[in-house]
Amino acid sequence: MSFNFSGRVIPSAWMCNLQAAPEYLEQGIGMKLMLAVHNLPFDAVGAVGINPRVVPMFRAMRYNCSDRIPRYVRVVNTGAFERLTGRNRPPIRPSAPPAQTGISVSQAITVPVEWDPFWHQFVSRGYFGTHRDSEFMRWRYLDHPWLRYRFAIARTQDSEVAGAVVWRVESVRDSDIAVVRLIELITTDFETTRALASFVEQEARAAGAAMLDHYGMHANKAALEACGWFDESDFPDLVVPSLFQPLVAQRRSMNFAVRTLPRSGIRADEYAHVLSVIKSDGDQDRPN
């Protein structure tokens, strides 16, 4: 896998697991494993969903750590959401009608040939995160062996690519409730974000879903709120489950840590303000 730093593609990796037998924890095995990862041919390393007990170790190893990837939620079926959360009055925000901007959105079964030029333009504005070129989008989503991801493209009146969205419908185990996980929301402006979010909401309503959610750094919060979404952190007493296989009725923040290695020549202060991290799907989101 590769990261992209404002147009520069660098070899990188996301760590999935860091485990050590209890009898070796006092011997610094965790840090030795991390150093072994740093010796692999990567210029950047990241991890999402870190055990809070080992976050101090990540900080000690000069990782850029955050306690929370912002999570946005949109209620689409009040009754189903109440059953899902046990809350009688879910926070529902009105959705303003979108402006007539000429942005059109349509579902796609292949990555368009115009995607890579759009992606190059997108990252050139300032970006640090996973390199989401057409090869990655096909491998990660469209060619996934068992999860069915849906993919839609936004275009301008001149048919130029203006953004994309990836989502999937997830059925809650042992329940008739469904939720929509909005995974990727790649846009450069307010109105395109609104157009893509509104498109996925229509798909969620057609699927009878209770809600949509999206974890993402630098998501266009104002555009999502204009579509009726809310930031989970605005409602500290609201418990919106994030694990559905099976349903875990508790609030769960998603932390992360990222660092570049010296051989990359990229300093933390150069990428911190354009760092983009999302919560994608993991083994804890579905049966193993």
The answer to whether residue 287 scores a pLDDT higher than 50 is no
pTM for the whole structure:
0.93
C-alpha torsion sign, points 263, 265, 267, 271: negative
Question: Tens digit of pLDDT for each residue in 145-197?
Answer: 989 999 999 999 999 999 999 999 999 999 999 999 999 999 989 999 999 99
Confidence class for position 26, pLDDT limits 50, 70, 90: confident
Confidence of residue 87 (pLDDT cuts 50, 70, 90): confident
**Can you give the pLDDT at residue 98?**
67
Residue 288 clears pLDDT 70, i.e. is over it: no
pLDDT by residue (tens digit) across 42-52? 999 999 999 99
Residue 283 pLDDT level (bands cut at 50, 70, 90): very low
Chain segment 109-156, per-residue pLDDT in tens: 999 999 999 999 999 999 999 999 999 999 999 999 989 999 999 999
Burial 268-279 (b: 16+ CB within 10 A, else e): eeebeebbbbbb
Angle at 153 between CA 201 and CA 219, to 5 degrees: 60
Spatial contact of 91 and 235, defined as CB atoms under 8 Å apart: yes
**pLDDT score, position 282:** 58
According to the model, what pLDDT value does residue 151 have? 97
Please tell me the CATH code under which domain 71-252 is placed: 3.40.630.30
Across the range 240-263, mean pLDDT stands at: 93
Residue 27's pLDDT is: 87
Is the model's pLDDT at 22 over the cut of 50?
yes
